[in-house]
Amino acid sequence: MLQDLRRLQVPAFVFPGQGSQRPGMGRAWRDHPSWEVVQDASRLAGRDIAYLLLEAGAGELAETRNAQLATFVMGLVVLDAVERLGIEPTACAGHSLGEYTALVAAGGLGFDDAVRLVSERGEAMQEAAEEHPGIMLALSGVDDETARIACRRADGDVWLANSNAPGECVIAGRPDAAHRAARVARELGATAVKQLAVSGAFHTALMTPAQPRLRKALDEATFYALDVPVVANVDALPHAKTEEWPSLLSAQLRSPVRWRQSVLALAGLLGADGRAGDQLFCELAPGGPLSALVRATAPSARTLAIAAPDDLDTLVATLAGEAAVAPAAHAGHEGERLYLFERLVVSPCAGLFELPPPAVAAESGEGGAGYATGAGGAGYATGAGEGTHATGAGGRPGQGAAGVNPTTANQAAGTGTAAEILPRPIAIGDIVGLVSGTEVRSPFAGELMGVLAHPGERVQPGQPLAWLRSR
């Protein structure tokens, strides 16, 4: 059943670009293990990216060299958090700058090269924007061809820059010409015009001066075979060949972003088996600007924006076909670590772990099945089979100690043989153990598959204590 779930509902990952940044967008993530990405990226870029994500104001963030680096690294933080759950995409795409994050997600770019490329791209585009000042204006209520007509009638340096969704596009160019084109667009039916929070006319001929610097950086970067296809901005086609991406990224600087067409291409990849309702687009970054564009372009698709750590629970529940657990069910619980059908109940406090008394265990179906050694932090179940668990602070799926033989573990706990007790049903609120007398209750229903701590072991807050498989 799990294989069927992955085949039908493995999502497309999409990543927003410049213009989606906002002050304080990293605050929800700074205590998450994936925040370490920020320190690594800061070292490579020679910039204080944590400052940009936590403290920088809107004006400072709008500068191209800041906006691009901050938005890109924020996307990497969210991507890292999702990858820690063992969730992988079936295809990827990114809007403008987001294309670089998409390539990292698909395995086409390494972390180091990607950070350096985005740093160079931001600096090069900042210089081009200062040499040729421009603006970008979002138009609502007109299609791409009408926007092109408005640009031609403006008789100046202004072009269609983004095709975002039906009736939603962006024009860009020199300020006077862009405003003239916007006035014509209103005459032709545009219902709204909004200037974007960017500092240049991106994806137009005004970015030509940035191309030599970016091309040099692309030539020095190493591109790898992609694990999954990435749909390119330039032609809205999926590309998996390594040698195609340097030229695509270079051309993207002065070519329109064909996002509407890219969404349709992704929907086609996701719905290749004819199940349009299984098209799930996961937007990995705060703000969620792409989700509305996806829904407008592909109404049958589902969208999910991963903007904060709490959204990871929703992602896992969505992939497992579950309704989100009601907040009341979690009252008084420290939390859980999630991986598709599997759940880890974690300790709410520090203290000595004990199994519940026999009467309580019998009532709730408690019993030990096996445990992972070296537990001491928030780990993640591997999903590889019963008795194998990843442990350690911030551990990733597939990393950690193998589970102890179930029979040995049960004998150690004094609870009988594995055949007598496993698996056992457990309901929301059932006790799975005690930590220095504090009851640890399950915030969800499922099958108890194992106990991850030794009776008498001193555990820490957040340490995994029990492994369940959700119903």
Catalytic pick among 20, 96, 255, 291: 96
Sequence-ordered strand ranges (E) for 226-347:
230-231, 238-239, 257-258, 280-284, 302-306, 336-339, 342-346
Catalytic pick among 32, 95, 132, 203: 203
Asked if residues 87 and 312 have their Cβ atoms less than 8 Å apart, the reply is no
Q: Sign (positive/negative) of CA torsion 99, 105, 110, 111?
A: positive
Instruction: Please return the burial class of 22, using the count of CB atoms within 10 Å of its CB with bins 0-12, 13-18 and 19+.
Output: middle
Which element (helix H / strand E) includes 426? strand 424-426
Which element (helix H / strand E) includes 369? none
Task: Name the residue among 393, 394, 406, 390 with its Cα closest to residue 451.
Answer: 406
Q: State the Cα torsion 456-458-461-467 to the nearest 10°.
A: -40
The CB-side HSE value for 183 (13 A sphere, CA atoms) comes to 8
Spell out the alpha helix ranges (H) of 95-188: 98-105, 111-131, 144-154, 175-187
Whole-angstrom distance, CA of residue 56 vs CA of residue 52: 5
Q: Confirm whether 203 is a catalytic residue.
A: yes
Q: Confirm whether 470 is a catalytic residue.
A: no
Return the active site residues.
96, 203
